Amino acid sequence: METVREDIIQEYTRWGSLDVLENANRYPGPTGFFAYVMEEALKEHLSLIPTEGREAHFSGDIYIHKLPYSLYIPYCTGHSTARLLEKGLKTPTIISRPAKHFDTYVDHIANYLITMQHYFSGAQALSSVEWYAGPFIRKEGLDRRKIRQNIQRLVYNLNYPSRVGMQCLSEDTVILTPYGWRRYDEVNVGDVIYTFNVETKSIEPRVVRHVHVSHYSGKMYNLRNRTQDQLISPRHRVVRKVFNSDRYTLTPIEEVLKFKSPIPVPTPAITKLENDGIEMNEEWIKLLAWILSEGSIEKRSKGTSRVTIVQSPESHPEEYREILELLSKLGLGYTIRDDPGWGNAKAIRLNAESSKIVVEKLRIKGKKPPLWLYQLNREQAKVFIETYVKGDGYTEKGENRVRITTTDEEMKDAIVAVAVLAGYNVSVSVRTPNPPSKKAQYIVTLTATGHEYIQEIKEVEYSGIIWSVNTENETVIAMRKGSVFITGNTPFTNFTVTLDAPKEMLEGDHAVYDGKKLEPLGEYEREAKEFFIALTEVLREGDAIGQPFTFPIPTLMVTAKMLWDDPEVFEAVFTTAAKRGSFYWLNTNVVDPDASYAMCCRIAIDKTEMAFAFGVSEKSVEEEAIEKLERQRFGGLWAMPDVTGSVNVTTVNLPRLALKANGDDDKFWEEYERVLQVVRDTTDWFRERYVRLITNYRQMYQMIHLYLEEFPSSHFNTIGILGLPEAAAIYLNEPGLWTEGTRKDWLKAAELMKEMVEFATARAREWMKESWTPWNVEEVPGESAAAKLAIRDLREFPWLKDYLSDVDNPIYSTSIAPYYGSLELGDRIRIEEKVQRSFTGGVMMHIFLGEEPDPEALAKLTKRLMKTDLVYWSYTPAVTVCNDCNHSTTGLHTHCQRCGSENVEIWSRIIGYYRPLKNWNPFRKKEFWTRRHYTS
């Protein structure tokens, strides 16, 4: 971690430099400052990236996604359901045999996706889960009720332990950060928190990737012993010591319940601390401990302060001498006088000048612990605790136990945090005051006990807020009711529901049971239908208070006959889509489902064989091979076929190219060519790096070797495209293009945008011919990148403001037709279909709805869209949930439709998945209200 220095704080608080504003999610405050400091430190790691790519990223010409995580793990992938069922679930810590029961199948699906999330920074996907469930449902003779129970279990599992932070803690649990203990409403994406690395046993500061907060009613698990009091949700992963070893693992609470012995859980006493600490010598830290434990800071006139420390030279001569020696070493002037209120104690009073130096140096206000205490390294933290104990604590005779007493809650929190950083096992008890008018006493107990043993786990009923975060290490340091503990946090998951669309897959791919292949998948149509209907019912119902589920996001293939010919499936799909959105829609009139989803016709990429073929064949053979390769990944943004995905995504900032060209068309295309070459070189570097990492550190990447042995030959280098509509408007010099333009203007812009996309796809195909490395071009979601790039460009090109929908909220579009545009739905569809097919990777059009549509009308619209060249779309009705009466309504409302309360929460897709607006980053939150929502 970067050293915290006053000059950095001063630079940050000016709130004007390029680096300070780099993160669009940052705000002027402690967490924003620490994120800035962390970002500065991480630049050392970014120096690994070739200079040209790194400089292009920081200048805004390109955007390398998922940094710094993408330095070590690739982007996104689809997985093979058949392969999981044949091999069983083999993780680094536990190995399960192939599934033989439906509940095991459900658990393997969820736990596999969650575990594989550790190896990829982006989305995970599985396809045809409904068909592969067939033999398990049939052999157990399950009726719809039992199938639904297991589907509900699957969906909840994917929404508890997810990367969006759903392995949840109770409302009264707080987590440790470098700026204090934080509650559920005080942690934001981009903040830094302390985590525990189960491999290195280190406490490490890590950036929060996602935050989840929701209301929940149902069972929770209370883990207790004499000093522990954890309250966690179902599927939460407990950090525990593996029996008879020195290793640690994260185990779902349901598995923990099966153990017959007390469960050993780690405490901070077994940890190391990966933290550089602050730039302050030992003497100053000791002085702070003495002031906070035995001192006072008296406020005087004109804003000055006087610092006094009280100590007895008779009762505590060593401590008294230590204080005087400390003040002398630091060159601080003082006077000594009797303190009548403390018997034979002396008041050591610093003079005005020395008091001013102390207050400014230690950054203290009154007798409140400064926030930098939460950033100490291990040695600094030990120095503080050992000194503080001399003032307000004691060591029990004959026992390795230290106790500190305070009546100040802020001081108690700081002592607990510093003790954690110092490597103590910490617990807090409260002594009730007598008489009640007195303050409660907090007794902080510190020991060197490396493990606590959970003696009791109770299932309790709970109703209230649950919350969690996601970080790289997937753990947090938490505190509840004075109990400090290390526990898990939290994985983006998608299903492609093929139904009966890919005929070759259903006839050629086989069901798997107990690790053995059975009949072709198509033999299990009845069971697949039952699975799918149960899934739609669970998604339509939502959670306990009607909130939408974030995951999974099923992709439907629109040419599936079952969808249209089976009345039960038809009703299940379109009532769910109307009420919850839930699905993505893949136009399999445009995308060949068998080319992408049938394992029996998966392309095996062999460089030698293909090079030979290219040498002796006509060019058409080469082109046909490339087209087959592209079809593996062409289509939905998150509908990733089996065993393929993106190795890395590097995005071209198109509006910036148009801004730099400033009306010079030739310059635009020349600059585009140059930037694409940078994208190529940078993404190739990442690909080569992953090969080296996975080859040289097999143990670290063992699940990729086991389940994705084709990686990376089956995965694409991806060129991202962002800001298409703004780039077109700037290129055409039409600031009002999307708000005041005509249909003729929009169609002209669509042709230009198509040319821009095809310029990139042409280069991608040339590169494939040269190296046979798979390349594609994708419309990226750009959840935060869209704002970061727009902010940077607006500073450099002030006239960009004329082309933004809201100059006070600069953000680029991540769609073809901008969602803020004044387009009728028919015009939006025409523009999107002109461009979508030019992408060779993922693409998406959201149709935002302000009310719940009629299911029959939605089906008719789907029939219309099937006949267009659209590739991938969603229906996204807003959902309004009342925080007072918990009533859920489909539609965009500012007050509850049942009780009238204005205390409501809006849910919609931030870029692809449903989340409440309160969890969106500030730029996306404002951008939501500019989106056009269609009504009947």
757-806, pLDDT tens digit by residue? 999 999 999 998 888 888 999 999 888 899 999 999 999 999 999 999 99
Pair type for strands 401-406 and 425-431: unpaired
Residue of 731, 851, 719 whose CA lies nearest to 778: 719
> Please, what's the largest Cα pairwise distance for the chain?
102
Query: How many other C-beta atoms can be found within 10 angstroms of the C-beta atom of residue 186?
Result: 14
pLDDT score recorded for residue 37: 55
Q: What is the mean pLDDT of residues 135-144?
A: 94
Tokens 């010409």 belong to which residue?
61
Put the strands of the sheet holding 174-177 in their side by side order: 180-182, 174-177, 475-480, 483-488, 425-431, 441-447, 401-406, 393-395
pLDDT digits (tens, 9 = 90+) for 860-869: 999 999 999 9
Please state, in angstroms and rounded to a whole number, the distance separating the CA atoms of residues 46 and 190. Answer: 18
Pair type for strands 202-207 and 76-79: unpaired
Q: Which two tokens stand for residue 656?
A: 């910036």
Please state, in angstroms and rounded to a whole number, the distance separating the CA atoms of residues 211 and 208. Answer: 7
Q: Which two tokens stand for residue 75?
A: 């982007």
353 φψ region: left (φ > 0), alpha (ψ -120 to 50), beta (else): alpha
Residue 159: what residue type? Answer: N
Residue 38: pLDDT above 50? no
Please state, in angstroms and rounded to a whole number, the distance separating the CA atoms of residues 477 and 176. Answer: 6
Please state, in angstroms and rounded to a whole number, the distance separating the CA atoms of residues 221 and 231. Answer: 6
Are the C-beta atoms of residues 735 and 801 closer than 8 Å to each other?
A: no
Please state, in angstroms and rounded to a whole number, the distance separating the CA atoms of residues 796 and 657. Answer: 13
Query: 169-267+450-488 has which fold?
Result: Endonuclease - Pi-scei; Chain A, domain 1 (2.170.16)
Residue 189: pLDDT above 90? no
DSSP 2-15: PPB-HHHHHHHHT-
Residue of 654, 649, 646 whose CA lies nearest to 60: 654
Q: Which two tokens stand for residue 759?
A: 């310029």
Which residues make Cβ contacts (< 8 Å) with residue 345, sequence separation at least 6?
310, 311, 312, 315, 338, 339
Among the ranges 343-357, 551-565, 589-603, which has the highest mean pLDDT value?
A: 343-357
Query: How many other C-beta atoms can be found within 10 angstroms of the C-beta atom of residue 402?
Result: 21
Please state, in angstroms and rounded to a whole number, the distance separating the CA atoms of residues 575 and 227. Answer: 50
Please state, in angstroms and rounded to a whole number, the distance separating the CA atoms of residues 178 and 374. Answer: 5
Which H or E element spans position 648? strand 645-653
pLDDT digits (tens, 9 = 90+) for 63-80: 998 887 788 889 988 888
Taking the alpha carbons of 399, 400, 406, 408 in that order, is the dihedral positive or negative?
negative
Tokens 């693992």 belong to which residue?
249
Are the C-beta atoms of residues 86 and 719 closer than 8 Å to each other?
A: no
Are the C-beta atoms of residues 180 and 477 closer than 8 Å to each other?
A: no
Residue 599: pLDDT above 50? no
DSSP 530-573: HHHHHHHHHHHH-STTSPPP-S--PEEETT-HHHHH-HHHHHHH
pLDDT score recorded for residue 128: 84
Cis peptide before 567 (omega within 30 of 0): no
pLDDT category at 11 given cuts 50, 70, 90 is: low
Residue 478: pLDDT above 90? yes
Residue 7: pLDDT above 60? no
pLDDT digits (tens, 9 = 90+) for 621-676: 445 555 544 444 444 433 344 678 889 999 999 999 999 999 999 999 999 999 99
SS3 content of the chain, % helix, strand, coil (to 5): 40, 25, 35
DSSP 106-166: HHHHHHHHHHHGGG-SS-EEEE-HHHHTHHHHHHHT--HHHHHHHHHHHHHHHHSSSTTT-
Please state, in angstroms and rounded to a whole number, the distance separating the CA atoms of residues 251 and 94. Answer: 10
pLDDT score recorded for residue 3: 42
Are the C-beta atoms of residues 334 and 349 closer than 8 Å to each other?
A: yes
Are the C-beta atoms of residues 219 and 462 closer than 8 Å to each other?
A: yes
Residue 29: pLDDT above 60? no
Q: Which two tokens stand for residue 648?
A: 């890395």
Span of 338-342, 559-563, 653-657, 822-826 with lowest mean pLDDT: 338-342
Residue of 476, 491, 521, 512 whose CA lies nearest to 703: 491
Distance of alpha carbon 354 from its chain centroid, rounded? 47
- The length of the chain is 936
Query: 282-447 has which fold?
Result: Endonuclease I-creI (3.10.28)
Burial 585-594 (b: 16+ CB within 10 A, else e): bbbbbbbbbb
Q: What is the mean pLDDT of residues 85-114?
A: 89
Residue of 700, 370, 511, 717 whose CA lies nearest to 86: 511
Q: How many Cα atoms are found within 13 Å in the side-chain-facing hemisphere of 346?
A: 18
Residue of 298, 301, 304, 299 whose CA lies nearest to 352: 304
The burial of 432, by beta-carbon neighbours within 10 Å (0-12 exposed, 13-18 middle, 19 or more buried), is given as exposed
Please state, in angstroms and rounded to a whole number, the distance separating the CA atoms of residues 70 and 74. Answer: 6
Residue 391: what residue type? Answer: G
pLDDT digits (tens, 9 = 90+) for 485-526: 998 865 445 566 666 656 777 787 899 999 999 999 889 999
Residue of 925, 684, 931, 639 whose CA lies nearest to 808: 925
Which H or E element spans position 335? strand 334-338
Q: What are phi and psi of 534, to 5 degrees?
A: -60, -40
Q: What is the mean pLDDT of residues 702-722?
A: 90
More confident of the two residues 857 and 466: 857
Please state, in angstroms and rounded to a whole number, the distance separating the CA atoms of residues 344 and 341. Answer: 9
The burial of 105, by beta-carbon neighbours within 10 Å (0-12 exposed, 13-18 middle, 19 or more buried), is given as buried
Please state, in angstroms and rounded to a whole number, the distance separating the CA atoms of residues 149 and 886. Answer: 23
pLDDT score recorded for residue 580: 92
pLDDT score recorded for residue 496: 64
Q: What is the mean pLDDT of residues 93-103?
A: 89
pLDDT score recorded for residue 236: 83
Are the C-beta atoms of residues 571 and 533 closer than 8 Å to each other?
A: no
User: DSSP class of residue 473?
Assistant: S
Helix residue ranges per DSSP H, 723-881: 724-732, 737-740, 743-771, 785-796, 825-836, 855-866
Taking the alpha carbons of 844, 847, 852, 854 in that order, is the dihedral positive or negative?
negative
Which residues make Cβ contacts (< 8 Å) with residue 150, sequence separation at least 6?
102, 103, 106, 142
Per residue, the 3-state secondary structure of 409-437, as one string, reads: HHHHHHHHHHHHHHCCEEEEEEECCCCCC
The whole-chain average pLDDT of the chain stands at 84
Residue 12: pLDDT above 60? no
The SS3 of residue 41 is helix
